A and B are shown apart, each in its own frame.
Chain A
Amino acid sequence: MPEVLKAPLVVEFPFTRSLGPVQSAFLTGLRERVVLGVKTGDGRTLVPPVEYDPVTAEEIRDLVHVGSTGTVTTWAWNPEPRRGQPLTAPFAWALVRLDGADTALLHALDAPGPDAVHTGMRVRIRWAEKRSGAITDIACFEPYDGDDAEVTVHAGEFQDPVIGIVAPARLDYTYSPGRAQSAYIHALSDRRTVGERCPSCRKVYVPPRGACPTCGVATAEQVEVGPRGTVTTYCIVNIKAKNLDIEVPYVYAHIALDGADLTLHGRIGGIPYGQVRMGLRVEPVWTEGGRYPDHYRPTGEPDADYDTYRELL
């Protein structure tokens, strides 16, 4: 078996999320160094606050100003902080019940070591210097030995409230395409197109994915196809894609390579876009260093008869 192909794959997605009235007040409050909770119907105070009662699903809106000091209800020592976590030096994760609250908030606790942390210990919020209305406006908690804070009713009204957050996320993967697609990509590097034949229905799949989707069995027998093929259908692209250096309009086509039972797609060049047609015979055009055909161009052969590709549409 040829070497397994691998490539880095980064998935990045900034989610823009709107906030409900309670979340908006809470996150705006953090920006102003005020922690708000919300009262449930049975008189409990939830911090962090939510829009609906977790027990009754009743809409809850009565805000209270709770302390920025509190008590650790459970903790866990994190010896190796990971990307994105609140502190870069070892810290404790902690659930903290702020003074005046009945529920606990998750955050980091900055402490010199696990021996300095225990359940029941008193902590206070260390505010971030730059605050924007996000949970990270709390930089972390830190040990504290003062008194409990007073709890007061709060209207939750601020100038310029935060109404949304942008939550960036990034995940790093090492992608490997598997046996069949690795073999296909290896062959492409020799400018050969190699598909795989289903042992049951005998169809040749290009590119191969390792299984015949009709029969549900593994494909293994390798079959070189092309390089020439037939345009089975096409469209004319009139909108320029971002980061794509191709002049519009251009033709994007399904191409049945000779010997293949599945079409692949590619751009058609070397012919005015208005003259591309079903049945047009084409061949790949490789560019220096290209790992796959840059585009396909007419071979000059007579068009293929419709019956030769009607099953491949």
Chain B
Amino acid sequence: MTSEDVSGLRDVAVVAFAQSDTLRTTEEQSEVEMLMPVLHDVLGQTGLRTADIGFTCSGSCDYLAGRAFSFTLALDGVGAWPPLSESHVETDGAWALYEAWTKLLTGDADTALVYSYGKSSPGSLRDVLTRQLDPYYVAPLWPDSVALAALQAQALIDAGETDEPALAGIAARSREIANPRAQLRGSVPHGDYVVRPLRTGDCPPIGDGAAAVILAAGDRARELCSRPAWIRGIDHRIEAHSLGVRDLTDSPSARLAAERAGAFERPLDTAELHAPFTAQEVVLRKALRLDDSVRINPSGGALAANPMMAAGLARIGEAAARIHRGESDRALAHATSGPCLQQNLVAVLEGDPR
């Protein structure tokens, strides 16, 4: 939905954000046990109880942990009685936030709880992700997530848009951060090739984690948060299905989503990009026209912590939290899903003038 489409409708803001630590394994916790402290944290920030929330929407994927209908068990952590107005998406929670945002725009609810979580540790994530690919021509070859990202990285190198040292620089910058929730922080060896040209350092850490935000409309947002992060627009777009049809060095879907979310209307000061692999940041910077005046991923982004299904929602949450704290006035948040930036969501967030 474009920024123009929503002008005249209600203003909706992110008023709170919480996330778990992202850990390589959380085998001592079930999914709901991992998620629940995050839900309590985000509700606690606003003083809201579950019964006060108008709409609840979550994002998760059963394939990660191999547990069918795990999202219904995760609802135990919300406290779903009396029955909630509730929905779920089988993808990153950023898309759950999109659904909740539209629900608030229609006036059906004034507040929404959005959460997502992923437990990648029980399975072999690189193999699990092959099951999202074209089942006729691609999935039978089991090309893993790193291999597909490496094809994209090589295409960028061939096009002269980056090189291995530049990618290593993105990796290092992404981990030189203070984010206490990150899985990788500080000096991380760039390592050997996993699938050439991508080395360990070019790849996101595999981890378990959860994130949650609360949305509120209009005056309700001002009551709940001293500086709401107003959502000026969100849009999401998808590339052609077949990798061989796409120009892997560009992301027309991300650019279109950004345009329709209003990202190009005024300068941004911050961008939280969901680029799990270093080379994908190169693609997104170009597609989203981000120059050096924009602070990229102060949180460290997905290279510092990439809990599947939560990392995209966390980008929106991190951008909003910077606005809450007065560290940003106008930020872009991006989420992706699928191989080689297949689907892209862009949100533009603003704080009231200070």
Contacts and interface: CB of A to CB of B under 8 A. Distances in A.
A78 B244 contact: no
B30 interface: yes
A171 B28 contact: no
Nearest to A86: B141
Contacts of A74: 151-152, 154-155, 158, 248
Contacts of B8: none
Given A54-B240, A103-B242, A209-B73, A167 B127 contact: no
A82 B142 contact: yes
Interface in B255-314: none
A107 B140 CA distance: 10
B112 to A, nearest CB: 16
Contacts of B30: 177-181, 209-210
Given A54-B245, A179-B30, A82 B126 contact: yes
Contacts of B40: 217
Given A54-B241, A54-B242, A4 B27 contact: yes
Interface in A194-218: 209-218
A176 B28 contact: yes
Residue picked from A9, A23, A27, most chain B C-beta under 10 Å = A9
Contacts of B123: 171-174
A188 interface: no
Nearest to B239: A54
Contacts of A27: 136
B80 interface: yes
Helix, strand, loop or mixed for chain A's interface?
A: mixed
A179 B141 contact: no
Contacts of A105: 137, 244
Contacts of B155: 73-74, 119
A114 interface: yes
B66 interface: yes
Nearest to A95: B244
Contacts of A108: 141
B65 interface: yes
B69 interface: no
Contacts of B177: none
Interface in A154-193: 165, 167, 169, 171-182
A212 B65 CA distance: 22
B279 to A, nearest CB: 11
B243 A106 contact: yes
A1 B141 contact: no
Nearest to B50: A216
Interface in A1-39: 1, 4, 6, 9, 11, 15, 17, 19, 23, 27
A84 interface: yes
Residue picked from A82, A105, A135, A216, most chain B C-beta under 10 Å = A216
Interface residues of A, number: 68
B326 interface: no
A181 B76 CA distance: 14
B225 interface: no
Contact of B142 (A6, A84, A134): A84
A83 interface: yes
Interface string B136-152: 11111111100110111
Interface stretch (B16-24, B189-197, B229-237): B189-197
A179 B241 contact: no
Interface in A89-121: 93-95, 97, 103-108, 114, 119
Contacts of B338: none
A223 interface: no
Given A6-B27, A213-B76, A216-B77, A77 B196 contact: yes
Contacts of A304: none
Given A75-B151, A178-B33, A214-B81, A136 B141 contact: yes
A23 B136 contact: yes
A210 B139 CA distance: 36
B131 interface: yes
Contacts of B150: 76-77, 93
A79 interface: yes
Nearest to A54: B240
Interface in A28-60: 46-48, 50, 54-55
A216 B135 contact: no
B109 interface: no
A9 B123 CA distance: 9
Residue picked from B73, B75, B136, B150, most chain A C-beta under 10 Å = B136
A48 B242 contact: yes
Contact of B131 (A78, A169, A181): A169
A179 B135 CA distance: 37
A4 B141 contact: no
8 contacts: A46-B245, A76-B153, A77-B193, A86-B141, A135-B141, A175-B66, A178-B33, A212-B76
Interface of A: 1, 4, 6, 9, 11, 15, 17, 19, 23, 27, 46-48, 50, 54-55, 73-79, 82-86, 93-95, 97, 103-108, 114, 119, 134-136, 165, 167, 169, 171-182, 209-218
Given A77-B150, A167-B135, 8 more contacts: A9-B66, A74-B154, A79-B196, A85-B143, A180-B30, A211-B32, A214-B81, A215-B79
